Amino acid sequence: MPLPVLEAFHGLQPDPLPRGPPGVGQPAALRVSHGPGLPERTGHRQANGSDITQSSSVVGAVGSHHADPRAGWFEYGVTMEAEHRRKGYASEAVVMLLRFMFDERRFHKCGARVFADNEASLAFQRRLGFVEEGRLRDQVFSAGQYLDVVMMGMLADEFAQLHSPSE
C-alpha cells in the first residue's frame, strides 16, 4: 500500500455509532480517487462506506456493512456505476479495504452476501479469492420470486497469499 494511503488510514478512527446487531461495531471506511494516469488515493473517513471517484466524480462505493471486532470478522459491499465496470476499479478498492482491515485493524475474516443470480458479483468475489461457504435458501423475495443468498468468505492469510502488498 502506498505510504500516503497508509498514513491516511492511520488517522482513521472506528465509527462510534452503533450499526447492526448489538455488539457489532462499524469500522472506518475509505475514499478512493482515481485521476488520469497514476491513481491518486486518499484516506477519508465516512459514516458508513466510501466512495470511488474518477476525476473527482463518484463512480462507485465500497465499505463494510457491519463487523464483530471480538470475533474478528466483518462483511463488506461494493457497487460500481454500470459505465465504470470492468475497469478494475472495484477490485482495486476492495483490495485496499481488505488490506486495511486485515493488516491494520487485525480482522481475521471477511464475508460477503451475494444474491445467487448475481453472476457478476459471484465472479468478482471468486476472482478476488472469496470462496462459497454456504447458501441461505429462499432468503429474499424479489420480483415475484424467492432468491438464495450465497455466503462468500475469505480469511486474512488467504488474502495475504493471493494479494501482495505491491498490488
Ligand X SMILES: CC(C)(COP(=O)(O)OP(=O)(O)OC[C@H]1O[C@@H](n2cnc3c(N)ncnc32)[C@H](O)[C@@H]1OP(=O)(O)O)[C@@H](O)C(=O)NCCC(=O)NCCS
154 close to 163: Cβ distance less than 8 angstroms: no
The window from 21-29, 38-46, 95-103, 119-127 that contacts ligand X (CB under 6 A) reads 119-127
Instruction: Give the shortest CB-51-to-ligand X separation in angstroms.
Output: 13
Q: Is 73 in the site for ligand X (CB under 6 A)?
A: no
Q: How far is CA 133 from CA 1, 86, 93, 155, in A?
A: 29, 25, 23, 12
Rule CB under 6 A: say whether 85 interacts with ligand X. yes
Kindly tell me which of 118 and 139 has the beta carbon lying closer to ligand X.
Answer: 118
Choose between 119 and 138: whose C-beta lies nearer to ligand X. 119
Work out the angle between the directed axes of helices 89-99 and 119-128 (0-180°, nearest 10).
50
Do 84 and 63 touch, CB atoms closer than 8 A?
Answer: no
Q: Does 91 bind ligand X (CB under 6 A)?
A: yes
Is the CB of 71 or the CB of 123 nearer to ligand X? 123
> In whole angstroms, what separates CA 45 from the centre of its chain?
14
Which string of x and - marks every residue 30-69 that binds ligand X (by CB under 6 A)? ----------------------------------------
**In the bound complex, what is the minimum distance in angstroms from residue 39's beta carbon to ligand X?**
13
Q: Determine, following the binding rule CB under 6 A, whether residue 88 of this chain makes contact with ligand X.
A: yes
Number of residues counted as binding ligand X (CB under 6 A): 20
- Shortest Å, Cβ 33 to ligand X: 15
Asked if 110 touches ligand X (CB under 6 A), the answer is no
Q: Is 125 exposed, middle or buried (0-12, 13-18, 19+ CB in 10 A)?
A: buried
Q: How far is CA 52 from CA 43, 45, 63, 126, in A?
A: 11, 13, 10, 21
Please check whether residue 51 is in contact with residue 60, taking contact to mean a CB–CB distance below 8 angstroms.
yes
Distance CA 46, CA 28 (A): 7
Q: Which residues bind ligand X (CB under 6 A)?
A: 77-80, 85-91, 112, 114, 118-121, 123-124, 127
